Amino acid sequence: MLDHFTIKVTDIEKSKVFYKNLLATLNAEIKLDFGKTVSFGDIGFSGGDPGGYFWIAEGKPQHIHFAFNAKSKQEVDRFYLTALELGGTSNGEPGFRDYHENYYATFIYDLDGYNIEAVYHGE
């Protein structure tokens, strides 16, 4: 299970706008903003770390893959379209994958080339 993680981004201001709008499609918002470091978490979340689960910090990107949970196929679709509108690029349109029967996901590259996934595991 994941508590939180941080990625390095080349331009904190551009990435803050990108992730603020992109993660809003998954019901998340900025939790803390320290200028060169920003955290995001679920809207209305009241337990655990008040800083959220996803952090960006200005620095040299180190390319990794990570996935965000979505609560529906519609959230996955909205995540994909929003990423493209915000300057991300497609690395796999929304759809079912062979990982398991109900694995519905999309993959995008963010502004720094991170391979980001939004996945819905079905009901």
Local confidence pLDDT in tens for the 123 residues of the chain: 467 889 999 999 999 999 999 999 999 999 999 999 999 998 876 666 677 889 999 999 988 889 999 999 999 999 999 999 999 999 999 999 998 889 999 999 999 999 999 999 987
Burial 79-113 (b: 16+ CB within 10 A, else e): bbebbeebebeebeebeeeeeeeeebbbbbbbbbe
pTM for this prediction? 0.86
Query: Is the C-alpha dihedral spanning 69, 73, 46, 33 positive or negative?
Result: positive
* Distance, first Cα to last Cα, the chain: 20
Write down the pLDDT at residue 43: 87
- Domains of the chain are 5-120 (3.10.180.10)
Write down the pLDDT at residue 46: 61
Write down the pLDDT at residue 1: 46
Contact 94, 77 (CB under 8 A): yes
Write down the pLDDT at residue 49: 67
DSSP secondary structure code for residue 27 in this structure: T
